[in-house]
Amino acid sequence: MRLQVKGKNVEVSDTIRRYAEEKMSKLNRQLHDLAEVELELRVEKNPSIAENQVAEVTVWTKGPTLRVTEASTDMKASIDQLTDKLLRQVEHVRGKRKGRQVRGNGVSSGGSMSSQDEEETGPQIVKTKQFTMKPMSAEEAALQLDLIGHDFFVFRSEDSLEINVIYRRRSGGYGVIEPSG
């Protein structure tokens, strides 16, 4: 595993760097040697955000790319929470791979799984939201996005009457996802 620790809006001290490397070393036995891990530590400058010490990790593996973000009032606590969450994600992905290994007779090598076991390992939807969408411009959708304080907003375009998504870009500004075809 190759680990890169970098800072944004914060100078990464040697103490924090060693702490992060120590915590991330727990992944060594879970990940392949060629996996790349990028840990970004940042401090949010917005005074209305109490949990402004953010740790975000991206793991590039042979399979899926994993990304975890955690925030708290202390950088070490953010790293701890991030490591725990990332370990659970890695174990989940490894469990899914083992479940996919199928022998020639169509029986999975891990034995049979009950439908209850499958439900527990899959993603759980914890909330469903319904709302009416009046057609609006992308500019109006951006204003709505700012009002609700989320990272994205789903709206119906007044031009095409198609469902679009507007999102806040990390580099600043907004992006719009439009359906094609």
Helix %, strand %, coil % of the chain (to 5)? 30, 30, 40
At residue 97, the pLDDT reads 64
Residue 145's DSSP bridge partners are: none
Tens of pLDDT, residue by residue over 52-106, are 889 999 888 777 788 889 999 999 999 999 999 988 888 887 776 665 554 444 4
pLDDT band of residue 175 (cuts 50, 70, 90) is: very high
Could you tell me where the DSSP H helices lie in 57-165?
Answer: 75-100, 115-121, 138-148
- Report the mean per-residue pLDDT for the chain: 81
Listed in sequence order, the residues at least 6 apart from 22 whose beta carbon sits closer than 8 Å to its beta carbon are none
Would you say 61 and 35 are in contact if contact means Cβ atoms under 8 Å apart?
yes
CA 76 to chain centroid: 19
Q: Is residue 119 scored above 50 in pLDDT?
A: no
Write the DSSP string, 6-37: EEESS---HHHHHHHHHHHGGGTTTS-TT-EE
- Percent of the chain, pLDDT > 90? 27
* pTM, rounded to two decimals: 0.52
At residue 33, the pLDDT reads 65
Q: Quick one: how many helices (H) and strands (E) in the chain?
A: 4, 8
All structural domains of the chain, each given as residue ranges with its CATH number in brackets, are: 2-101+113-121 (3.30.160.100), 135-177 (3.30.505.50)
pLDDT band of residue 120 (cuts 50, 70, 90) is: low
Q: Is residue 115 scored above 50 in pLDDT?
A: no
Tens of pLDDT, residue by residue over 142-168, are 988 887 778 899 999 999 999 999 999
Listed in sequence order, the residues at least 6 apart from 168 whose beta carbon sits closer than 8 Å to its beta carbon are 145, 151, 152, 174
**Residue 44 main-chain phi, psi, to 5 deg:** -75, 135
